[in-house]
């Protein structure tokens, strides 16, 4: 069965630390890839997306993600986190053949001031 794995369920970092959140999926065909973020008390919103082209995509608030097809991965990165990045982050994969979307279980990121 198709699945999306977010390896870290809870991450705690200090401000200015570098961030990498892992996302792997288990489907070999064409996919669209997304990272969504949910700040405390706010709606879920799109952080960035990959459909095709340059595998390194840049999103809002200094986030970026790299699609590595051979590793079935779409990891989220930020070189220097801020306290305001405290949120829950969800990776999502759209399996185009089946036109399904699968969300990962989420990673709670807590930034210490």
Partner 1 sequence: DVKVTQSSRYLVKRTGEKVFLECVQDMDHENMFWYRQDPGLGLRLIYFSYDVKMKEKGDIPEGYSVSREKKERFSLILESASTNQTSMYLCASSSGSTAGGLYNEQFFGPGTRLTVL
Q: Which stretch binds partner 1 (CB under 8 A): 15-23, 61-69, 71-79, 101-109?
A: 101-109
| Bridge partners, residue 87, by sequence | 109
DSSP state of 28: -
Please tell me whether residue 106 binds partner 1 under the rule CB under 8 A: yes
Please tell me whether residue 9 binds partner 1 under the rule CB under 8 A: yes
Q: How many CB atoms lie within 10 A of CB 82?
A: 13
Question: Closer CB to partner 1, residue 43 or residue 54?
Answer: 43
Span 41-60, contacts to partner 1 by CB under 8 A = 43-46, 49, 51-52
Rounded alpha-carbon distances, angstroms, from residue 6 to 17, 32, 73: 20, 16, 10
């Amino acid at each position: 069965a198709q699945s999306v794995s977010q390896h870290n369920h809870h991450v705690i970092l200090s401000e200015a630390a570098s961030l990498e959140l892992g996302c792997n999926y288990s489907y070999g065909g064409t996919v669209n890839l997304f990272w969504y973020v949910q700040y405390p008390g706010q709606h879920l919103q799109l952080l960035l997306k990959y459909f095709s082209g340059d595998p390194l995509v840049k999103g809002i608030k200094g986030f970026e993600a790299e699609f590595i097809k051979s590793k079935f991965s779409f990891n989220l990165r930020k070189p220097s986190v801020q306290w305001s990045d405290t949120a829950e982050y969800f990776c999502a994969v759209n399996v185009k053949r089946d036109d399904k979307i699968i969300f990962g279980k989420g990673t709670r990121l807590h930034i210490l001031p």
